[in-house]
Amino acid sequence: MPLVDSSYNPPLFFKNGHLSTIYAGLIRKVHGVEQIRTRITLADSDFLDLDWSYASTASKKLVIIIHGLEGSSKRAYIRGSAKILSEAGYDACAINLRGCSGEANKLYRSYHSGATDDLASVITYILQLAKYEDIYLHGFSLGGNLLLKYLGEQREIPSEIKGAVAISVPCQLADSLEQLLQFKNALYAKRFKGNLIEKLRLKQQLYPEFILDNDIENIKTLKDFDDIYTSKAHGFKDAMDYYSQSSSLQFLEYIKVPTLIINALNDSFLGKECYPVDIAQKHKNLYLELPKYGGHVGFYGENNFTYTEKRTLEFLDNIL
């Protein structure tokens, strides 16, 4: 498909990528959305917590929403999406990835950018409810990479899955990491690293034989975290092997359902390889929108519904 023209033209404040990212991540609040939690048990005995927001009348349409790195279903960008979708007649199921629901997961492993088996388990669980005819995937940042990888892995995709929308996607993970390690992103990287280390210390109490004090002390950057923990806990050789295997970029050409990617050109987390223009131009199912503004999941909209929330609803409504 040709690139999608973007009409996003926010007020002056939100044209600054860093200001829009910070506002959306730390200041924006979303009220008036109900989230009802259920817990599912995974095949390896671990669990996932799902937060449901239901339409006012019984719906056959469901959107599965996936948060980003160190996010949760309680973040404003997830609650905002659940609110606009449920008000429009869709049920919404927001996944809390392992260890992200407010309670530590049970196993040494956790979540990561390519852990599509967990997404597949959620979809299997939902299909067993025999309630939904049309299911859509909606992810942000890490969650966007996750769903794109899932759709393109050439696994058998259930016929109920009709489409997807991914926002601010680091679809080439090493490229995104390179950006996060630069000075322009130092504050974000410090915040991410601090949250990850805090969780790792909690996990150390459960698995002291696998996580040593010296290991934690050696984590100076996000790449160090992935070398020391992520890769070891999830079967990769090292951080670069993890990025290589988990990046969704290599799977995009195999996606078979209508899929929209919205990546802002002033997203400081994304390098040039995270803008798959050539793939989208040759792809019948992939729609790529590149707004000039938006930062990283930092889109603005009137009445506290962001541009991407409205675009997501518009895109899903128009899938045949």
Write down the architecture of domain 12-172+247-317 according to CATH. 3-Layer(aba) Sandwich (3.40)
Domain residue extents for the chain: 12-172+247-317, 176-243
288-299 residue pLDDT tens:
999 999 999 999
136-195 residue pLDDT tens:
999 999 999 999 999 999 889 999 999 999 999 999 999 999 999 999 999 999 999 999
103-146 residue pLDDT tens:
999 999 999 999 999 999 999 999 999 999 999 999 999 999 99
Q: What is the DSSP string of the chain?
A: -PPBP------GGGGSHHHHHHIIIII----S---EEEEEE-TTS-EEEEEEE--SS--SEEEEEE--TT--TTSHHHHHHHHHHHHTT-EEEEEE-TT-SSS--SSS----TT-HHHHHHHHHHHHHTT--SEEEEEEETHHHHHHHHHHHS-S---TTEEEEEEES---SHHHHHHHHTSGGGHHHHHHHHHHHHHHHHHHHHH-TTTS-HHHHHT--SHHHHIIIIIHHHTT-SSHHHHHHHH-GGGGGGG--S-EEEE--TT-TT--GGG--HHHHHT-SSEEEE--S--TTT----GGG--HHHHHHHHHHHT--
To the question of pTM greater than 0.75 for the whole model, the response is yes
